[in-house]
Amino acid sequence: MKLKIYKTYILKSYLYYFLIVSLIFTLLSFFLNILEEIVFLEKYNVGVFYPIVLTFLNTPSILFEIFPFIFLISSQLFFIRFQENDELNLLKLTGIDNFSLIRFLIYLTLLMGLLLTIIFYTFSANLKYNYLSIKNKFTNDNKYLAAINNNGLWIKDEYEGSIYVINADEFIKNKLKKVTINKLDNEFNLESIIISEEANIERKEWELKKVKIFFVNGKKENLESLNINTNFNRKKLNSIFSNLNSLNLLQLINLSEDYKKLGLSSVEIKSHIYKLYSFPIFIAIMATIGSILILNLTNKKSKFFNLSIGILSSVVIYYINYFFNLLGTTEKTSIVLSICSPLIVLILFCFILLVRINEK
């Protein structure tokens, strides 16, 4: 019965610090982001409504990215409080040593990480999608659309009074394969249909090969090559699908399958999916590191010093993750290895420091 009471007390104490730290980071993210939105929208004279709405929609996505560091700092504050109130020694008298306490927090943070991945990420992804949809209305790109589905790559483009509706079966490196281009006027009246075996889209002036042109008056023309000007090139087309935070897990899996069918590289999508899969483990590791740091530092150190060590550790871990992720997305190593390697390094670090944790 006593153990259940103490576990409830530990749970409430940890959640209290987690909510406090989350609130602080939410407010910081909100104010930093709203300044960015105000600068972006100042030339459109839309008042304060749109910056506030856009910030509300974007803040959950930002918060999800920094949750690992929120857990680290929450764990530090939790153990600082228990040290200052001499509650660690009190817990030891009831049979809960340092290792048991950390183990309980690991189980707790694993569960919280799972809930955040399933529920909070889905919620933030939906808001991020709406954020991008609204913001797109204020850019020049709102009339240039691209999408991928079971029928291949689709592009809607407007260039010098003409509207192009483009479909391609494959997108490999800088080339589109089996391209069909419907050319329409401003009133959406069909002018011609252009069919090409291949289009080089490295530049915005596409180079079409083995071209057949069908005109609305019934005429037909065959060409070995044809150049057309568009607003798209390889770089821009790839960037359109780069914001993966606006897609939930199921949408990411479906998009990965669509990329395979089209011949596109799905490395970045897989990397993002695997990071979501490993998110609860990463959360638990960060909470463990925060706990270990405080327990291994002397009580004589100030709160500021202890938290500074935690923040410094967060920065180091961020760059370790970034380095391994870069290796994966550039295909220098496998995606699974790029995601698992930093986790394994951090787990080994935790095990080394946990060996004598009960003596602290």
d(CA 97, CA 76) in angstroms, rounded, equals: 17
Q: What is the mean pLDDT of residues 331-348?
A: 86
Question: What pLDDT sits at residue 65?
Answer: 92
DSSP class per residue in 252-268: HHHHHHHHHHHT---HH
Residue partners of 250: CB distance under 8 A and separation at least 6? none
pLDDT at 135 over 90: no
Under the banding of pLDDT at 50, 70 and 90, the label for residue 1 is very low
Give per-residue burial for 301-330: e unless 16+ CB within 10 Å, then b: eeeeebbebbeebbeebeeebeebbebbbe
Question: What pLDDT sits at residue 140?
Answer: 56
The strand ranges marked E within the chain are: 145-149, 152-159, 162-172, 175-184, 190-200, 205-215, 220-229
Q: What is the mean pLDDT of residues 180-184?
A: 90
d(CA 342, CA 350) in angstroms, rounded, equals: 12
d(CA 9, CA 94) in angstroms, rounded, equals: 13
What's the mean pLDDT when you consider all of the chain?
83
| pLDDT, tens digit, 9 for 90 and up, residues 152-163 | 678 888 887 788
282 vs 243, higher pLDDT: 282
pLDDT at 312 over 70: yes
Question: What pLDDT sits at residue 265?
Answer: 62
d(CA 124, CA 245) in angstroms, rounded, equals: 8
Token pair listed for 62 = 């930002």
Phi, psi values for residue 237, rounded to 5°: -65, -40
Question: What pLDDT sits at residue 359?
Answer: 58
pLDDT at 151 over 80: no
Any idea of the CA torsion for 336, 339, 340, 342, to the nearest 10 degrees? 150
Question: Could you tell me what percent of the chain has a pLDDT over 90?
Answer: 28
pLDDT at 27 over 80: yes
Phi, psi values for residue 278, rounded to 5°: -90, 0
pLDDT at 226 over 70: yes
**Lowest-confidence region among 114-128, 197-211, 261-275, 282-296:** 261-275
d(CA 39, CA 35) in angstroms, rounded, equals: 6
Question: Could you tell me what percent of the chain has a pLDDT over 70?
Answer: 88
Q: Cα 314 vs. chain centroid, distance in angstroms?
A: 18
Under the banding of pLDDT at 50, 70 and 90, the label for residue 16 is very high
Question: What pLDDT sits at residue 38?
Answer: 86
The DSSP bridge pattern shows strands 145-149 and 205-215 to be unpaired
DSSP class per residue in 86-141: THHHHHHHTT--HHHHHHHHHHHHHHHHHHIIIIIHHHHHHHHHHHHHHHHTTSGG
pLDDT at 141 over 60: no
Under the banding of pLDDT at 50, 70 and 90, the label for residue 282 is very high
Residue partners of 45: CB distance under 8 A and separation at least 6? none
**Residue 102: what residue type?**
I
Q: Are 198 and 209 in contact (CB under 8 A)?
A: yes
This prediction's pTM: 0.77
d(CA 179, CA 312) in angstroms, rounded, equals: 51
Helix (H, G, I), strand (E, B) or coil at 58: helix
Q: What is the mean pLDDT of residues 75-79?
A: 91
Q: What share of the chain is helix, strand, coil (3-state, %, to 5)?
A: 65, 20, 15
Question: What pLDDT sits at residue 232?
Answer: 81
27 vs 357, higher pLDDT: 27
| pLDDT, tens digit, 9 for 90 and up, residues 209-222 | 999 999 888 888 88
Please work out, in degrees rounded to the nearest 5, the angle formed at the alpha carbon of residue 352 by the alpha carbons of 337 and 304. 100
pLDDT at 248 over 70: yes
**Among residues 151, 152, 158, which one has the least CA distance to residue 232?**
158
Q: Cα 234 vs. chain centroid, distance in angstroms?
A: 22
